[in-house]
């Protein structure tokens, strides 16, 4: 996909945080239309953005959204949730993991399955999957979240290969902690959502299949093959 201008985009979870930043950046770059796929359309109050009811955990809801938005050429799978655990082996882990996987993995799968044929029918386009440095570095209190993002990364890599011949770019965006409501109260370096959206869309315009959006994540990936890599000894978080 060579240009965001005149594209038609669908962004899941576009009512706040990174999804909101994507919606604003898409409009800034001249997207013809931006759909916001959200559970509660009344929460979307962005001039120029069309709210579409979507529950990413429900395949029927994803199919209905795709049937409504048949002009989409760019899909941003942004919707995601996290929940902290006391420990990786906490008794609640299974329940928490099921809930997180429903959005972070199956949500990406449901929406991609629904919209990939739409993009193909429109001559191709791009799918952006928001991932994390957690695909490589997992801490006990974020074990379920990290597992869901690792699964989504595997899905991203598989669909990238499958959809290339249909002229569909599949881009994975890896980033650490974002400066959003989800990380409120954590004392660490955070990346601005607007920066991530800008880097991702720059990548879409240049057919970049993987975007590493912050310095910390770049260091984690670069050190994966080293003896003292970050996933064995992750830095502390206050």
Which CATH number do you get for residue 109?
Answer: 3.40.50.720
Structural domain boundaries enclosing 199: 8-222
Residue 3 within any structural domain of the chain: no
Residue 233 within any structural domain of the chain: no
pLDDT of residue 234: 77
pLDDT tier for residue 182 given thresholds of 50, 70 and 90: low
Residue 235 within any structural domain of the chain: no
pTM over 0.75: yes
For the chain, the domain total comes to: 1
Q: Provide the percentage of residues in the chain whose pLDDT is more than 70.
A: 94
Token digits of residue 166: 């249909």
Residue 41 within any structural domain of the chain: yes
Residue 104 within any structural domain of the chain: yes
Residue 173 within any structural domain of the chain: yes
Average pLDDT, rounded, for the chain: 93
Residue 193 within any structural domain of the chain: yes
pLDDT tens per residue across span 64-95: 999 999 999 999 999 999 999 999 999 999 99
Residue 230 within any structural domain of the chain: no
Q: How does DSSP assign the chain, residue by residue?
A: ---STT-EEEEETTTSHHHHHHHHHHHHTT-SEEEEEES-GGG---TTEEEEE--TT-HHHHHHHHHH-TT--EEEE--------SSTT-TTHHHHHHHHHHHHTHHHHHHHHHHHHHHHHTT-EEEEEE--GGGT---GGGHHHHHHHHHHHHHHHHHHHHHGGGTEEEEEEE---BSSGGGTT--S--B-HHHHHHHHHHHHHTT-SEEE-SHHHHHHHHTTTSTT-TTTSPPP--
């Amino acid at each position: 996909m060579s240009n965001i201008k005149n594209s038609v985009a669908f962004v899941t979870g576009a009512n706040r945080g990174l999804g909101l930043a994507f919606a604003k950046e898409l409009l800034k770059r001249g997207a013809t239309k931006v759909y916001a796929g959200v559970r509660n359309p009344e929460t979307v109050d962005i001039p120029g953005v069309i709210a579409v009811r979507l529950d990413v955990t429900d395949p029927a809801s994803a199919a209905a959204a795709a049937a409504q938005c048949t002009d989409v050429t760019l899909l941003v799978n942004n919707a995601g949730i996290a929940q902290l655990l006391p420990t990786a082996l906490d008794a609640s882990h299974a329940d928490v993991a099921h809930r997180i996987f429903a959005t972070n993995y199956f949500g990406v799968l449901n929406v991609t399955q629904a919209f990939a044929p739409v993009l193909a029918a429109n001559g191709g386009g791009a799918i952006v999957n928001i991932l994390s440095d957690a695909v490589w570095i997992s801490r006990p209190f974020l074990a379920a979240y990290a597992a869901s993002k690792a699964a989504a990364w595997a899905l991203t890599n598989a669909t990238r290969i499958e959809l290339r011949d249909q002229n569909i770019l599949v881009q994975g965006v890896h980033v650490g902690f974002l400066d959003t409501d989800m990380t409120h109260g954590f004392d660490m370096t955070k990346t601005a959502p607007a920066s991530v959206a800008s880097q991702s869309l720059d990548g879409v315009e240049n057919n970049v299949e993987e975007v590493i959006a912050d310095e910390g994540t770049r260091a984690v990936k670069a050190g994966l093959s080293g003896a003292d890599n970050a996933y064995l000894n992750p830095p502390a978080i206050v």
